[in-house]
Amino acid sequence: MEPLKKSGNYQGPKGPVVLAILDGIGVGKYEDGDIVRKASTPTLDWLAGNCITTRLKAHGTAVGMPSDADMGNSEIGHNAIGCGRVFAQGASLVNNAIADGSLFNGSVWRELIENVVSHNSRLHFIGLLSNGNVHSHIDHLEAMLAEAKKAGVKIACAHTLLDGRDVPPTSALEYVNRLENFLAALNENGKVDYAIASGGGRMKITMDRYQANWKMVESGWKTHVLGDGRTFENANAAIGCLREENPGVLDQDLPPFVISRNGKPLGPITENDSVIFFNFRGDRAIEMSMAFENEEFNHFDRGPRLNVKYAGMMQYDGDALIPKNYLVDPPGIDRTIGEYLAKAGVKQLAISETQKFGHVTYFFNGNRSGKFDESLETYIEVPSDQVPFEERPWMKAAEITDEVVKAIQGGEHKFIRLNFANGDMVGHTGVTDAVQIAVETVDLCVARLLKAVKKAKGIMIVTADHGNSDDMYQRNKKSNEIVINEETGKPNTKTAHSLNPVPVYICDPSGSAKMRLSDLEDPGISNLTATCLKLLGFEPPGDYKPSLIEVDRY
């Protein structure tokens, strides 16, 4: 890669360039349900009135998703902000691989199928059951099940993780019933036995990330692999019973369940079985992949080592090679801002709490683990609390701010990137009072950062990777009217990301740069990368999305 060139008319500020990503805080379309608008945000209000500002697309084709009906997410958002270009992402890649047949013609699929057919064993699918298109899509599961039948697989088991986070919060039966009907059609001639074998809420079992809570993964292992847990006749009965026992529970928090037949678990994973984790997004699939693949494993007792063939939909960690086998190649993201700055000798700091730590490091660096230069990069992970986010909506924003203020005052790092997870993680709970506290917490922390940046004569960019807290009520898709809960008379809450744009505020409190907004049509969050390089005194690479600002002098 060619090294960065210094700008001819601007050498950067005296202090650092600070990129603050306010996760899940977008610009709402409607006043009702926009908790960002409802919250007291004097700092964001001041930024809007006193700094260069515009709105950025953070969903759909602007971040590599198949269509503009697809929401963005933190993974692809940080990919885009880190690399300055738009790459086809997980959902698009899998769609293409299924459409052109390359997934089924690939060596990994053939190996897993041959293993099952030759041993007359089971093919298992583990993953998130919804059409949210953030971690997975039910279409992909159904396509693989249909192809498995054509290939001669007699027994297949679906281990279904319930969503309620990227889709409406209590919509599980919509997807379970659809899958049950699909399986019934496959089973119609009696030649195959395909069934749902286990399940549970995505925030209760299996889909932990960043090794924050291995108990979740252990619970998933017991449920999916060992068939150990509370049994039900079918998934529909399990969900109905568990909802009745836990009034108000969201799908993502439903306890685990095992489907039994004739008094025995229907689908434990045993010798010579094949297993596919069908999520395409990596962060919440890595730990279960480690449990299946790692020879040495001490996070929980797996029981006797199983001789199974395992693959992920994609490779979730390219540097750590997790998993070793995968069905679809991930996007090849290269030449990120982190790599360019490391080669230019610029010291960088990346910081967040555990929930988003991988986003400001791994995803920001183009799905790459580790650092480009140990001597130039500092990564700080603030351990997240293991309590429900609605019970502690301030999360670790203050502790992150403490560290960043210290770094700004220290003067060592010229580029600082941070993520406040509150707007997204609390937004996913659907508890709007807690979401308001989360947004106001972030606003207070941005005020502290702004003060430190001004004193250090730096520049601050405040933005987001996608929306969430800005759109907290479900709406009728045709009329856009709020959906009212018949029992409570209150709006049904929405826990998924929004399709709204996100703000960007570029603030130079010391006046070191004469800046103006570039004339760009439909800018997106990938334009932030070149913007950061411009403000650091570099000319962005020619194939990066253009900078949001022009700098005339220093």
Please give the positions annotated as active site.
74
Q: Is the peptide bond before 13 cis (omega within 30 degrees of 0)?
A: no
DSSP state of 499: S
DSSP state of 137: -
Residue 152 near residue 119, CB atoms below 8 Å: no
DSSP state of 342: H
Task: Collapse the DSSP code of 204 into the 3-class scheme (helix H, G, I; strand E, B; otherwise coil) and give the result.
Answer: coil
**DSSP collapsed to 3 states, 242-306:** HHHHCCCCCHHHCCCEEEEECCEECCCCCCCCEEEECCCCCCCCHHHHHHHHCCCCCCCCCCCCC
Determine the straight-line distance between the first and last CA of the chain, rounded to whole angstroms: 28
Please name the residue that has the structure tokens 């703000």.
503
Residue 360 near residue 21, CB atoms below 8 Å: yes
DSSP string over 354-380:
HHHHHIIIIITTTS--S-S-TTTEEEE
Residue 324 near residue 108, CB atoms below 8 Å: no
CA torsion through residues 37, 43, 47, 49, sign: positive
Integer Cα distance of 368 and 371 in angstroms: 8
Rg (CA), the chain: 24
Residue 380 forms beta bridges with which residues?
Answer: 351
Neighbour tally for 124: CB within 10 Å? 27
Total count of residues recorded for the chain: 554
Q: Is 350 exposed, middle or buried (0-12, 13-18, 19+ CB in 10 A)?
A: buried
Long-range CB pairs of 491-495, under 8 A, 24+ apart, other chains included? 491/32, 491/33, 492/168, 492/169, 493/169, 493/430, 493/431, 493/432, 494/33, 494/168, 494/169, 494/430, 495/164, 495/165, 495/168, 495/169, 495/250, 495/252, 495/427, 495/428, 495/429, 495/430
